[in-house]
Amino acid sequence: MTTNRFRRTRVLVTGGAGFVGSHLCERLLADGAEVLCLDNFYTGRRETVAHLLDNPRFELMRHDVTFPVYVEVDRIFNLACPASPIHYQKDPVQTLKTSVHGSINMLGLAKRLRARILQASTSEVYGDPIEHPQKESYWGNVNPIGTRACYDEGKRAAETLFMDYHRQHKLSVRVARIFNTYGPRMHPNDGRVVSNFIVQALEGEPITLYGDGSQTRSFCYVDDLVEGLVRLMDHPDDDIGPVNLGNPGEFSMRELAEKVITLTGSSSRLVHRPLPEDDPKRRSPDIDRAKALLGWSPKVDLEAGLEKAIAWFKRLREGEA
């Protein structure tokens, strides 16, 4: 679904050359916005937005959000931060700086411009949850000194900054807690479970399950997520607090692996590896707030979404994507 809701609106998307960011830029352009895509290309890639470069309403800027940027915009989507463990654990200090310094810089820009700003937070703020499914009122169960803390605590600190800027400076803020998202343009080597399983299956390699494969996740197709982000940014209320965006359908890692094997027609077998430190055992969103406030719920089921993602990974292998 597209509208003209952002017509003549200049929108900054940090991390815009990433997986989710590229889809968001595409959607905003379809909705009539002028889009400034900002990325330092640490995990984002020019190829994800190459098809947008000829659009006169699209601009690509190489910049790191840990340094201030001086531009003129009406709305800001702050997506900048490596989101997969293999990337955010490679340079944990920089990951934390991206969440904290990056948020301070983007909030400072929004304050100067009186622009509305949305923070792409994460389900990782809930840590290894004791409450299930996770509601926005749940404060989480996070190890503050573990190997995942650079990302988990960075995003928690960013949420604090956003809400304090709202309370102290009356800034118009939005916070989206994003659960596992998948679809075309995922980085093939980002270490995320969906891309891992698809790549391994297409190559006929063993599919890696950590632990016994019983841990669960929910998987939201990227178009559904982008619709949620757009609706949240467009919501008129400045004091709604964090909103979960994810698909409440819950699947074990083993179930996901078996679906991927079936859909790819692969002969891959399952192999088991030790469970990583602080890896959550269960993860599924309660999306009642998103339904009530935004009229939003995901439309694409897992099998249909996986078919689209697999088709894209096949084209990537053949050099066509």
**Segment 69-115, tens digit of pLDDT:** 999 999 999 999 988 788 888 999 999 999 999 999 999 999 999 99
CB atoms within 10 A of CB 274: 8
* Structure confidence at residue 3 (pLDDT): 62
For the residues 145-173, what does the mean pLDDT come to? 96
- Evaluate whether residue 245 is within a structural domain: yes
Helix axes 149-169, 92-113, angle to 10 degrees: 20
Using alpha carbons, select from 180, 151, 43 the residue that is nearest to residue 89.
151
Calpha distance 102→78 (Å, rounded): 9
User: Is the pLDDT score of 2 beyond 70?
Assistant: no
* Structure confidence at residue 204 (pLDDT): 94
pLDDT > 90: percent of the chain: 83
- Evaluate whether residue 1 is within a structural domain: no
- Evaluate whether residue 2 is within a structural domain: no
Q: Tell me which of 42, 126, 151, 182 is the catalytic residue.
A: 151
| Number of domain units in the chain | 1
Cα 299 off chain centre by? 17
- Evaluate whether residue 5 is within a structural domain: no
| CATH code of the domain in which 65 resides | 3.40.50.720
Residues 6+ apart with CB under 8 A from 116: 74, 75, 76, 110, 172, 173, 174, 233
Calpha distance 258→197 (Å, rounded): 9
- Evaluate whether residue 79 is within a structural domain: yes
Note the pLDDT tens digit of each residue in 197-233. Answer: 999 999 999 999 988 889 999 999 999 999 999 999 9
For the residues 175-204, what does the mean pLDDT come to? 92
CB atoms within 10 A of CB 187: 18
Calpha distance 271→213 (Å, rounded): 10
- In a 13 Å sphere around the CA of 285, the CA atoms on its Cβ side amount to 29
Q: Which domain holds residue 89?
A: 10-317
Note the pLDDT tens digit of each residue in 267-277. Answer: 999 999 888 77
* Structure confidence at residue 321 (pLDDT): 62
Helices (H), the chain: 19-30, 85-88, 92-113, 149-169, 193-203, 222-234, 253-264, 288-294, 302-317
* 20 secondary structure, DSSP code: H
Beta bridge partners of 13: 37, 77
- In the sheet with 10-14, reading across from the earlier edge strand, the strands are 58-62, 34-39, 10-14, 75-78, 116-122, 173-178, 242-245
- Evaluate whether residue 4 is within a structural domain: no
- Residue 42 appears among annotated catalytic residues: no
- Evaluate whether residue 252 is within a structural domain: yes
* 301 secondary structure, DSSP code: -
> Structure pTM?
0.94
**φ and ψ of 100, to 5 deg:** -85, -60
| Residues counted in the chain | 321
CB atoms within 10 A of CB 68: 12
Calpha distance 99→104 (Å, rounded): 9
User: Is the pLDDT score of 124 beyond 60?
Assistant: yes
